[in-house]
Copies of this chain bind each other. A is one copy, B any other.
């Protein structure tokens, strides 16, 4: 392993030094971004956007440093195949190629369109006026097609693939479709059965009001018990929960609170704690290099969803958590039974809004977006037709009549930023999550039972060893095969959902 203080005599060590230098600056940008969302007074907004743009510019200069190309070639020749160092070189090549394939003029044009796009999207959403947003979306689609052309369309692939690969290395539309199609059928059937069941789980937990200070005490205790190390991270509040920070020893996550919906605060916290545990599990010795970074958005999401859902909505978790919830949250919640709390955490109810969706319906929201953006970017769907197509698919997949575009195609920020190819990483995360969790359960008898005693270390240690410690050593697909012994399928997710929800609903 090469450290920053070692003599830099090889191309590899020089390469790592440049990587660490770039990463040091981008980690500063991470803290500034966190500050932006959590601490900055509103007067700071204008200047902060300039600070962020400067950091992005300086980081981009470092990422495209002309010495890198040669060093990567030389370092590749130096490293033992299959070694950790070789993996670092492979990933640095990938990053370098993505950074250098895009002309600076396109990057700037894209950044500007994205910035304006987000602003005008917010206006359009506020006014429920899709036509206001349409020209900006059209420009972003055009720019995204140009971006895909620069990145290079894989052989036999399509524009969407080139974009998606920047979020989830190796992901392509055909593979996604092959997993999504059977998943959709089984999910639709499950949701229909639940809707028609005679059981109706109690929703009292989600309706109960609770002082925010009590909620905060409660979620902090949960995050700490799951294993989040507060000496190497923080939990604050922001409008949209996220997990950021500088590196594994300084992880910054946020959550949100409402007067009711304690379960939203808990779910958000456990979700971000999952991200945070992954970040804290990355090896500090490799900080600033790919081996010190997370694999992909999909694998990151697999960690957040596991703690939020497989752990946080399990019967065993609630055996441990219910008395703590009653004691800490007090008031109306003190009167709820273990069953009512567990049921409240597991309500399935089709709705318009993705970010409020339950475990079962969530993936249908993603599939709709995937179909639409794939058609948009291939040229098969005009921006003007998005609202009607959106509403048609919501009727088809979720049996919902979308009442307006605010609760329809204007609800998400992603397209307004030009982030096309991003949405499926959420569902991939759910799939990886279920497949990983099934393996962990099989390898660690008694693991889920221990949740009932507030013991989560077995699972965390398993994730640390099998996933976190590797950084980007293995790409997502390879990691999945190494950890679970097979390629990604929808089977584990469906088994998990059906195994839990059918008994709960008597369906």
Residues of A within 8 A of B (CB): 4, 21, 24-25, 27-28, 31-32, 35, 39-44, 46-48, 50-51, 54-55, 58, 229-234, 246-247, 249-250, 287
Contact = CB atoms under 8 A, between A and B. Distances in A.
Contact of A55 (B28, B230, B247, B287): B28
Contacts of A50: 4, 24
6 contacts: A24-B50, A24-B54, A28-B54, A41-B230, A41-B231, A41-B234
Contact of A41 (B47, B51, B233): B233
Contacts of A21: 54
Contacts of A229: 43
A250 B47 CA distance: 9
Contacts of A44: 232, 246-247, 249-250
A281 to B, nearest CB: 13
A247 to B, nearest CB: 5
B48 A250 contact: yes
B51 A231 contact: no
Given A44-B250, A249-B44, A51 B24 contact: yes
Given A25-B54, A28-B55, A39-B39, A47 B233 contact: no
Given A28-B32, A250-B48, A232 B54 contact: no
A247 B48 CA distance: 10
B287 A47 contact: yes
A410 B54 CA distance: 41
Contact of A231 (B43, B247, B287): B43
Copy tally for this chain in the complex stands at 2
A31 B25 contact: no
Contacts of A247: 44, 47
Contacts of A39: 39, 234
Contacts of A249: 41, 43-44, 46-47
A181 to B, nearest CB: 45
Contact of A47 (B27, B47, B54, B55): B27
Given A24-B51, A42-B231, A47-B250, 16 more contacts: A21-B54, A24-B54, A27-B47, A27-B51, A28-B32, A28-B54, A28-B55, A39-B39, A41-B250, A43-B232, A44-B232, A44-B246, A44-B247, A47-B246, A47-B249, A48-B246
A50 B230 CA distance: 21
A250 to B, nearest CB: 3
Contacts of A32: 28, 31-32
A466 B51 CA distance: 30
Contacts of A35: 31, 35
Contacts of A43: 229, 231-233, 249-250
Nearest to A52: B28
Nearest to A47: B247
A7 to B, nearest CB: 18
Contacts of A27: 47, 51
A50 B27 CA distance: 11
Q: Tell which of A25, A47, A234 has the most Cβ of chain B within 10 Å.
A: A47
A494 to B, nearest CB: 39
A230 B39 CA distance: 12
Contacts of A250: 40-41, 43-44, 47-48
A408 to B, nearest CB: 35
A229 B44 CA distance: 12
Contacts of A231: 41-43
A379 B234 CA distance: 49
A58 B57 CA distance: 13
Contacts of A4: 50
Nearest to A236: B39
A22 to B, nearest CB: 10
Q: Tell which of A28, A42, A50 has the most Cβ of chain B within 10 Å.
A: A28
Contacts of A233: 41, 43
Nearest to A38: B39
Contacts of A40: 250
Nearest to A287: B47
